Amino acid sequence: MAKAEIHVLLIRNNFDDTLSIKSILSKCRQDLKDFRLTSFNNLSDAFSFIAETNIDIILLDFSLSDNNRIDSFIRLNDFASDIPIVILCDPDNKKIAIEAVERGAQDYLVKKGIGWQLLERVIHYAIERKQTELKLIAANEKLKMLDQLKNEFLSTVSHELRTPIAIMREGVSLCLDRIAGDITETQHDLLTSTLENIDRLAMLVSDLIDVSQIETEKLNLKKSSLDVCQIINDIFEEYEQQIHEAGISFIRELPDKPVRLFADAEKIYQIIGNIVSNAIRYTGSKGEIRVHLGEKKDIIECSVSDTGVGIAEKNIPKLFAKFQQFGRVEGPGYKGTGLGLAIVKGLVEMHGGKVWVESQLGKGTTIRFTLKKGPFPRLLIVDDEKTIVNIIKRVLCDDKYRFREAFEGEEAIEIVQKEHISLIILDIVLPGMSGYEVIGRLKQDVRTNNIPILISSGYTVDTNLLSQVDIHGAIPIIRKPIEPVELRSKVKKMLMSEKTVLNESY
Amino acid sequence: MSQTRKILIVEDELEFAKMVKLRLESAGYEVALATDTENGTQKVMEEDFNLLVLDLMMPGGGGFALLEKVHERPDKANIPVIILTGKTIDDEVREKAKVYNVADIILKPYESRAFVEKIKSLVPS
């Protein structure tokens, strides 16, 4: 791999530098290798040269008089991303040279007093480091691509599996339900375990699809305002019979007021449901499961503790990995897929939370997780009548959203430009600037044209005028007097369907 | 509409279609089968059905392609529809289902008794 010649490209601003570098390089030549030097005094000439020649290394002189040294470096580094760059600088601009190194330059040299040995060593190491870097990047890209391929494969295969599973399930069910004729007790038992295992397979497929969607970040969260207490109660209802049959006592320690999150309700249900069903599975009769929910400023903390078999300390770090099951339940009955907690971890992290476990073998396990409460959508209500503003706030329920109010158009526009607003509820008839004008101004501004607007109006909305200010003509309208159910569902739907950007800082 | 309580199943997996037919016949319905979109569309146009059970991915465009054609006929547009699919139910599917007044989208594999209950709630047998 050693080449006979190393082609050095020097980009400098005065000719003397070329001469001195040339003379230094010529000394190296006697010792080890041939160096070929080409020099340019501006970037664009250098670019065209790089495009058509094989360059081994670039020396970029930072004693250039202009102020855009870092910009020049970035442009050069982007253009010649596979060629190592070494910065040449004067003692007084070393600082910028170091910044360039942080941004991807291989090294820097202070021009005064460069000896040939130093220059030669720097060049060799720079080339070698760059090659290693490029190999790493390529290997990493390949890995990413393979991982993507694996996930796509997984997802396709899983979908293809659903139909044959459905056919097997229906066939067995028809026999079990005696629709296809009478069966003996032994046949019934055999078919029952067949059905249970078909369901286990179905569960595995559905968990695999979840995992591959989480890993490929294809899962879109459908966020809405929800109450975690309500979800825990619903989960209890779902498992009530199972808990009762297992002789387990289920204790709920929940705050007596709703605990609001702006999150994906289905996924939160899946997180807690998965943890609870695990706890049931590993807790024997007369055992106890305790669900505790607490809230802090911006987060909620929830824990599910059981008095079950527990997990050995050495296994705890593996708990959230895929296909890890400890204390597998033997014999017939429900078996897990080994993916439940991996899904839990993925979903918790997608909601800005963390999940961890405390466990003692033989004593029980506590799984604890946090979730971010928000960010809650910020709604701007623009209406000149204070009573209407209050009605809207009351209908939408104060603790579900954050509200801003404006009584006229100019004020509204100012708020939307300065603050982060997720949705605007806009009255058409306003003092001064009309609602149509407000829409026009917001739609013209790239900073504000994506914010969803809901028009509230007591009068017939002039669709002609509306289509003039909004070419897409997709602004929904709600009639006054406002119908509470309609308002709630429209706002919820708009916040869910729009790719609402919720700024973390609010 | 007639008093037949007739259900049409449009599903390209014939074995599966036959099983669903058997299940629904035992619940007291009269059941017809079609195994592709075109054949299914033709049957809907020619005969009267009280309910359609449709697969989404089939030769000829699938359940939504069938519904698009059927909805051109005002007298056919109000037949209740249940979709049975092995494909993940995403937003696109949900949106389309809303457009065609689909009563339910059921993911395969499903619990048969719940499926029959759903059908009974739409078409009392």
| Interface size, chain A vs chain B, as Cβ–Cβ contacts under 8 Å | 51
Residue of A37, A87, A39 whose CA lies nearest to A63: A87
Which comes out higher in pLDDT, residue A424 or A32?
A: A424
Mutate to test the interface with B, among A170, A198, A209 (most CBs of B within 10 A): A170
Whether the pLDDT of residue A373 is over 50: the answer is: yes
The arrangement of strands across the sheet holding B81-85 comes to B30-34, B6-10, B51-55, B81-85, B104-107
Q: Is residue B97 part of a domain?
A: yes
A159 and chain B in contact, CB less than 8 A = yes
Identity of the residue numbered A333: G
Q: Is residue B89 part of a domain?
A: yes
CA distance A334 to A256: 34
CA distance A192 to A186: 10
Whether the pLDDT of residue A270 is over 90: the answer is: yes
Q: Which residues pair with A261 in a beta bridge?
A: A226
Residue of A5, A11, A7 whose CA lies nearest to A79: A11
- Please state, rounded to an integer, the average pLDDT across all residues of chain A: 86
Residue B82 lies in domain: 6-120
Check A177 against B16: CB less than 8 A apart.
Answer: no
Q: Is residue B1 part of a domain?
A: no
Average pLDDT score over residue span B95-112 = 91
Quote the percentage of chain A above a pLDDT of 90: 40
Which of the four pLDDT bands, split at 50, 70 and 90, describes residue A9? very high
Q: Which residues pair with A426 in a beta bridge?
A: A382, A455
Check A170 against B91: CB less than 8 A apart.
Answer: no
Paired tokens of B38: 């075109």
CA distance A22 to A18: 6
pLDDT in the model for residue A26: 78
Q: Is residue B125 part of a domain?
A: no
Which comes out higher in pLDDT, residue A218 or A271?
A: A271
Q: Is residue B110 part of a domain?
A: yes
Looking at the structure of chain B, the number of domains it has is 1
CA distance B65 to B85: 14
Mutate to test the interface with B, among A167, A210, A221 (most CBs of B within 10 A): A167
Chain A hits for B26, Cβ within 8 Å: 179
The DSSP-derived string for B92-112 is HHHHHHHHTT-SEEEESS--H
Q: Which residue has the tokens 């069938």?
A: B66
Paired tokens of A304: 């599910």
pTM of the model: 0.65
Average pLDDT score over residue span B103-121 = 93
Chain B hits for A165, Cβ within 8 Å: 108-109
A45-86 pLDDT, tens digit each: 899 999 999 999 999 988 765 557 788 888 899 999 999 999
Q: How far is CA B17 from CA A167, B5, B28, B31, in A?
A: 9, 18, 17, 10
Chain B hits for A160, Cβ within 8 Å: 86
> From A172, which residue of chain B is nearest by alpha-carbon distance?
B19
- Which candidate from A159, A170, A180 shows the least CB-CB separation from B16? A170
> Range with the lowest mean pLDDT among A104-118, A158-172, B104-118?
A104-118
* φ, ψ (nearest 5 deg) of residue B66: -60, -45
Which comes out higher in pLDDT, residue A69 or B5?
A: B5
- Please state, rounded to an integer, the average pLDDT across all residues of chain B: 91
A380-427 pLDDT, tens digit each: 999 998 988 988 988 887 667 889 999 989 999 999 988 889 899 999
Looking up residue B114, the CATH number of its domain turns out to be: 3.40.50.2300
- Which candidate from A159, A170, A199 shows the least CB-CB separation from B88? A159
Residue pair A282/A308 in contact by the 8 Å Cβ criterion: yes
Q: Which residues pair with B55 in a beta bridge?
A: B84
Predicted-complex ipTM score: 0.91
A279-335 pLDDT, tens digit each: 998 888 889 999 999 998 889 999 999 998 888 888 888 888 887 766 555 554 556
Q: Is residue B47 part of a domain?
A: yes
Calculate the dihedral angle through the C-alpha atoms of B26, B29, B35, B39, rounding to the nearest 10 degrees: 160
Mutate to test the interface with B, among A163, A169, A174, A497 (most CBs of B within 10 A): A163
CA distance B107 to B110: 6
B72 and chain A in contact, CB less than 8 A = no
> Range with the lowest mean pLDDT among A72-86, A203-217, A352-366, A411-425?
A203-217
